[in-house]
Structure 1
Amino acid sequence: MSYSQMTPSQTKARALALLLPAALLAGAWGSQLIGGLVPCEMCHWQRWPHYAAVVAAALAFVVPGRAVRLTLIAGAAALIAVSGLIGIFHAGVEYHWWQGITACSTSVSGAGISTDEMLRRILAAPVVRCDAAQWKMFGISLAGYNAIFSLGGAAVIAWLIRRRA
């Protein structure tokens, strides 16, 4: 194998760096659109690093150069870990281990509507509390599962990058 080619484990790391955040985002969007869960502000914070990780990992499939690919894969792993850290913080807020830094939130779009219509939409929109988990399984919230899968996945990706053939 030439130095310019990735090892089989690095190829697996690249695939995992793309599939893990894509799967976690699919789960988040599925729970929102199909399951009816309304994400709070901190839920959205956890999604942003995953969006960026998907972009970085996808670029690692198309850019030339082993070093650039590995840098993009490592960057994706770091972004996935950031989402996991935000998930830990959010889960801690849900379990009341510490105080959150955000107020309750709602998502109301109001471009080009009257003030009365905007007020009506605000009053009708659900208020989502960041300190109350909407869903749990085995006592773990979605933020907790994001932390587990994100940090575990980022560690596996890092290990695969460095693993010798």
Structure 2
Amino acid sequence: MRNTLIVIAAGGSALLLAGAFLFQFMGYLPCEMCLWQRWPHAAAIVIGALALAIPGAALPVLGALAAAVTSGIGVFHSGVERGWWPGPSSCTGGGGGALSGDLLSTDGPRLIMCDQVSWELFHLSMASWNALFSALLVIVWIAAARART
């Protein structure tokens, strides 16, 4: 039972990460906070692989922590998108730093704003969906930590 729950939890992070890369491939470029949400999923996948080989509750607890971190970032990002609180000045509002050169130039990297929703389903942005599904993964990780074997 423990290993099944670990596979579900780590697999859930793998699917969410794959979905993020699929959206990026489809042209929905990630903002800075979107990228922040990816790292805990990557960690959860590695933790899951290790937890399958190493018994005990410590690694599933770390997996739950990784899922909770990405869920928390998703909640924060959703609040920034909805204007409930300010986000990082580097990717909200005017984008922070000073601009130089030709402002009409299309050369160089594009700044993707963290306070702009680029895609939503049922009035929930990608960050909101990540927060919701990652919170569910926390529950699965905790169940894996509590499972005997």
Alignment TM-score, normalising by the size of structure 1: 0.76
Aligned length: 138
| Cα displacement (A) at 1:163 | 5.0
Aligned with 2:118 (options 119, 122, 134): 134
1:73 equivalenced with 2:60 (yes/no): yes
| Identity between Structure 1 and Structure 2 (%) | 39
Kept in 2, the 8 Å contact 1:88–1:144? The answer is yes
| Higher-Rg member (1/2) | 1
**Correspondence for 2:97:** none
Residue 11 of structure 1 corresponds to: 3
Shift of 1:78: 1.1
Amino acid at match of 1:90: H
> Residues of 2 paired with 1:83 and 1:143: CA distance?
9
Amino acid at match of 1:81: A
Q: Contact 2:58/2:145 (CA < 8 Å) preserved in 1?
A: no
Alignment of 1:101-112 (within 5 A): 101-104=88-91
Q: Is the 8 A contact 2:3 2:52 kept in 1?
A: no
Query: 1:24 is matched by which residue type in structure 2?
Result: L
Higher relative contact order (CA 8 A, sep 6+): 2
TM-score w.r.t. length of structure 2: 0.83
Tell me which protein shows more helix as a share of its residues: 1
Contiguous gaps of at least 5 residues in structure 1: 1-7, 106-115
Question: Contact (CA 8 Å) 1:13, 1:158: kept in 2 or not?
Answer: no
- Tell me which stretches of 4 or more aligned residues in structure 1 moved more than 3 Å: 121-124
User: Could you tell me whether the CA contact under 8 Å between 1:41 and 1:102 is conserved in 2?
Assistant: no
AA at the equivalent of 2:44: A
Work out the CA distance in 1 between the residues paired with 2:8 and 2:141: 7
**AA paired with 1:25?**
L
Correspondence for 2:42: 51
- Whether 2:109 is the aligned partner of 1:125: answer yes
Match of 1:85 among 67, 72, 84: 72
User: What is the RMSD of the two structures over their aligned residues, measured on CA atoms?
Assistant: 2.2
State which drifts further: 128-137 or 150-159. 150-159
